[in-house]
Structure formats: C-alpha cells, structure tokens
Amino acid sequence: MGMTDIRACILFEDNEMMVLRKPSGTPVQSAGIGTMDLESGIRNYLAEKTPGKMPYVGIIHRLDQPVEGVLVFAKNPSAAKELSRQMTAGELGKYYYAVTDQKPLKEQAVLEDILLKDGRNNISKVVNKGTPGSKAARLSYELIEEAEDARTRTGKKYLLKIKLDTGRHHQIRVQMSHAGMALLGDKKYNAEEKSGYPLALCSYCLELMHPKKKKKMVFEIRPEGQAFQGFFM
C-alpha cells in the first residue's frame, strides 16, 4: 500500500484523528516482510506531510485482515485517550454487513455466547460459561435482503446487518457460524464453504464522538466485496 492508496482510503482527517476505509486483505498492523499495513501507510503519509516530525498514530480498534471497513486512528495522545475511552465504554457504534447462504430462522435476533480464543491456532470457539479464559460475546443481527446466487450451496444468499456489542476475537464469524449462518468465504468457520468468494464481512458504519469537539460523527461506506454484488440495488 503506497501513499496514493492511503489518500484514496481517507474518509476524514483533521488535527485529532483520521478515519479510513480499510481494504479487504490489508492488515491493520505489520503482518510480515513485504506486506504493507495500514499503520505503516499512515505513518509514511503523515511523515511526508510534516517532514522532520515523528508522526503519532494511535490504533483505537482493529479489523481482521480479510475484512473491509471503517477504522479511526488518533493523531495525538489526547485524542487516542478519549477515543480509547469511548471504545472501552462501548460508546463507539460499530455496524457490519455480512452475507450467508443459510436463511436465518429469525429475521432479527440477539446472539449471546461465551467465547474462548485459541491464540496458537488463531481461532475462537463457543464454550461453556465458566471456562477459564473465556469471555462473553453479544451481537444483534437483522435480515435485510435475499438474492439468487448460483455459486452458493442453497442457490441463495442473505444480507444481514449486524451490530456488535462486544469486540471479541473473530466474534461475528464465530457466533454466526455457531448459529447456523456461517459467512460466505469464511474458510476458518465455514467447513461447507464452496462459493470461492472472499470473506463476506464489512464494517460499513462507525459512530463516534469527535475527541475534541464532542460532536457526534457517523461514517458509512458501501461494501465492495464480490459476495455483496446483487444487493444495494
């Protein structure tokens, strides 16, 4: 990811923060030699704007590498502190679009599970309450639209809107799979995946209070992933 790419990703920028659209496949932080990450791209971009000054980049939250979506970064410590406070307090509104080929049993519902992260294998799973190291996870979903799709097992696909109430490792992917609605393109949690689509998950909307002006701000994008084609007509 070069400078031009970073500029194309910027949704908003002022002295306090930057809001960017993370492309699918781009890691938030370094994922190894030869792979440009969002944090490094932002540092390079800011260093070019202010030569001789060490840029500050505060990571407030993250998205998995295959997930596209909206992210906010702080440009100074005070903004980072306030945005992190909002994140910890659950005041950042995070909304996702996801696509599955399994019709939900309910058009809208709340999913509450206990998740345990397996860091060695980079997966999470639903476990019993009280399992050492486990954490509660909660999200709500709503069925938005359905469409025909010859590439899926059922010949159909379903667009879901998801509100994340907690921020656990692979949370949406794990909970939706556990509920019988595994996401298209999810090779980790969808054993029957045959569509060949990239992961059908997009963090399309972020709500926050400006860290200095205390003004509510909403940033929204439209998913670009292949599995989302046929929706949003």
- The 10s digit of each residue's pLDDT in 128-169 is 999 999 999 999 999 999 999 999 999 999 999 999 998 899
In a domain, 233, yes or no: no
Whose tokens are 């002006």? That residue is 213
Q: How many CB atoms lie within 10 A of CB 46?
A: 19
In a domain, 179, yes or no: yes
Q: Name the pLDDT band for 29 (thresholds 50, 70, 90).
A: confident
Q: What does the mean pLDDT of the chain come to? A: 92
More confident residue, 29 or 117: 117
Residues 166-179 have a mean pLDDT of 94
Residues 59-78 have a mean pLDDT of 95
Domain of residue 210, CATH code: 3.30.2350.10
- Rounded to an integer, what distance in angstroms lies between the CA atom of residue 67 and that of residue 188? 13
Whose tokens are 């998740």? That residue is 115
Q: Which two tokens stand for residue 225?
A: 């992933």
In a domain, 112, yes or no: yes
Please give the C-alpha separations between residue 87 and each of 61, 62, 93, 127, in angstroms, as whole numbers: 8, 11, 9, 25
- The pTM (predicted TM-score) of the whole model is 0.91
- Rounded to an integer, what distance in angstroms lies between the CA atom of residue 182 and that of residue 176? 5
pLDDT tens figures, 205-215? 999 999 999 99
- Its domain, for residue 66, covers 3-228
Q: Which two tokens stand for residue 165?
A: 């109430």
- Rounded to an integer, what distance in angstroms lies between the CA atom of residue 176 and that of residue 194? 17
In a domain, 94, yes or no: yes
**Phi and psi torsions of 65, nearest 5°:** -55, -40
Strands, E, within the chain: which ranges? 10-13, 17-22, 58-59, 68-74, 93-100, 108-118, 123-126, 135-148, 156-164, 201-209, 216-220
* Total structural domains within the chain: 1
Q: Which two tokens stand for residue 8?
A: 């194309």
Strand partners, 217: 208
What is the chain's Cα-based Rg?
Answer: 18
231: helix, coil or strand?
strand
Q: Assign residue 30 a region: left if phi > 0, alpha if psi is -120 to 50, beta otherwise? A: beta
Residues 185-200 have a mean pLDDT of 92
Q: Assign residue 77 a region: left if phi > 0, alpha if psi is -120 to 50, beta otherwise? A: alpha
